[in-house]
Amino acid sequence: MAAIMTVCREDLHLPIVDPIQLFLYKDTASFEAYGQPGTTNTGAYAQGKKLHINLEKTRGKRWVTSERLAVVEILAVVEILAHEYGHVILNALASTGRKTDYWPIWFQEGFAGWVAAKVLNSLGWQDYGLTLHRAKLELAHNRDLLTTLDGLDWLNWHALAGKPKGYIRTYILAFVAVDRLIEMGDLSTTLQYLKTGDFAKIFQGSRDVFQADFQNYLSNLNPPSGLIAMQKPNWTVGDQWVYEEKSPEARRIVVSEVVREDAFQGIPSYVVKRDNEESFYTKETLGLIATMEEGKLTLRRDQSAQIFSWPLAAGKEWRNTYAEENLKNKSKHTIDLSMVVSTIEETTVPAGTFQAARIETYDPKSGRLLFERWYSPQAKYSIKTRAYVTKEGLKEQDLISLKVNAGNNSGNRSP
């Protein structure tokens, strides 16, 4: 909490609320009994200078300092605290004569989300630019579901939040709107208006002007581009890709090499070796179907993952669904993902500049962006990947070198 308050004071130059009180409730029953009535579906809320946290609604994350927390757990904890501290700051401004009911709910929640994202950025755990990038792609992908900001009053906010993809339609929309609002003016000036209570000036004197600007802004997010169709390549033994992999905790070099052609349960496949693991990618899709370690099967799927749908072209969408069995931890589950080729674009990584198809992977229920992959025909595989939800937090891979036989690559052609 001290780190959050320090970032808000020194980096964001926000008014500091100190002291504050933090209340942790072990479950929803105690949260309702001692907290604010009617908060069954709420994981946390701010009341004046008090922060109330329902531990049952925060996915059971550990909140004790005597244990070493995983990065993803730390991020969840800090994000919740920073978000609610953003509300505390607005509450403090209201107590000095400002009226929070003048601030629309989308601004209150968007500002709290902005504070949380900035705190994670300042602490070096999650780049603000990537947080915003992910949010913009989620809005673009779910544009047909979005309402206007003036339609997000208190009643509609809570109604939408409980519907499918409700988090995208409320909190993500609000976060991007506040970022846009600050971007339209000078940050220090905008924050000064907030501190002094001259809130109308944040909207440049008119909410209607901002509403119109923001609707236009949303309509121009991530338009499909590129007329190239990328065909499935042929891999050959010896094809090799070397990546730098980085996460908040570590960096390492990952080498992937096609070591032979084989078959998995009769399905023709390429075998790719990484460290002591051999992975089977079907020749039909170039999707993973099984892995082995030291000759023992560790993972298998009822069909290959369809991370590619050939040919690749801007705007193409498909579902990636399969059942997976992990023999190491004896677990089974079904995967269902929404895939889309958003653009064909030039992408630069340490290995060079490539023309690439950016493939986005979404959770079809929540609408959240889970994964981005840039496929290049020149490289015959991905040159860049970005995973937003892993045990290590955000994880990225960038191609730093490659060795491929271009003679058997079918490359590009016009559709």
pLDDT tens figures, 400-410 = 999 998 765 54
The reported pLDDT for the residue numbered 415 is 34
Domain boundary among 201, 219, 237: 219
Whether residue 113 has pLDDT greater than 80: yes
Whether 409 and 285 share a structural domain: yes
Confidence tier at 308 by pLDDT (50, 70, 90): very high
Say if 224 falls within a structural domain: no
Domain count, the chain: 2
Whether 108 and 155 share a structural domain: yes
Say if 331 falls within a structural domain: yes
CATH of the domain at 324: 2.40.360
Say if 90 falls within a structural domain: yes
Say if 134 falls within a structural domain: yes
Distance CA(289)–CA(269), nearest Å, equals: 9
- The residue type at 368: R
The reported pLDDT for the residue numbered 66 is 35
Whether residue 411 has pLDDT greater than 50: no
Q: Is 202 helix (H, G, I), strand (E, B) or coil?
A: helix
Domain boundary among 219, 241, 260: 219
Whether 66 and 211 share a structural domain: yes
Cβ–Cβ contacts within 10 Å for residue 20, how many?
Answer: 17
CATH of the domain at 87: 1.10.390
Q: Of the given ranges (196-200, 228-232, 252-256), which has the lowest mean pLDDT?
A: 196-200
Whether 304 and 179 share a structural domain: no
Q: State the average pLDDT for the chain.
A: 85
Residue 203's closest CA among 96, 103, 83, 100? Answer: 103
pTM equals 0.85
Whether 214 and 234 share a structural domain: no
The reported pLDDT for the residue numbered 53 is 83
Whether residue 31 has pLDDT greater than 60: yes
Say if 208 falls within a structural domain: yes
Whether 181 and 279 share a structural domain: no
Whether residue 208 has pLDDT greater than 80: no
Whether residue 107 has pLDDT greater than 60: yes
**Please, which residues have CB within 8 angstroms of residue 216's CB and are 6 or more apart in sequence?**
none
Whether 165 and 210 share a structural domain: yes
Whether 40 and 187 share a structural domain: yes
Tokens of 358: 């950016």
Predicted confidence (pLDDT) per residue in 312-352, tens digit: 999 999 999 999 999 988 999 999 999 999 999 999 999 99
Say if 130 falls within a structural domain: yes
Whether 239 and 195 share a structural domain: no
The reported pLDDT for the residue numbered 58 is 62
The reported pLDDT for the residue numbered 30 is 82
Whether 201 and 255 share a structural domain: no
DSSP state of 149: G
Whether 25 and 94 share a structural domain: yes
What does the DSSP assignment read for 379-394? TTEEEEEEESSSTTSS
Per-residue pLDDT, averaged over 63-85, amounts to: 66
89-95, long-range: CB < 8 A, 24+ apart: 89/8, 89/14, 89/15, 89/17, 89/115, 91/17, 91/46, 91/47, 91/48, 91/49, 92/15, 92/17, 92/49, 93/15, 93/194, 93/195, 93/197, 95/48
Range of 377's domain?
Answer: 229-413
Q: Is 150 helix (H, G, I), strand (E, B) or coil?
A: helix
Whether residue 271 has pLDDT greater than 90: yes
Residue 359: burial class (beta carbons within 10 Å; 0-12, 13-18, 19+): buried
Helices (H), 289-376: none
- The residue type at 240: Q
Cβ–Cβ contacts within 10 Å for residue 244, how many?
Answer: 17
Whether 20 and 160 share a structural domain: yes
Domain boundary among 167, 196, 219: 219
Say if 266 falls within a structural domain: yes
Say if 15 falls within a structural domain: yes
Whether residue 236 has pLDDT greater than 90: yes
Distance CA(284)–CA(275), nearest Å, equals: 25
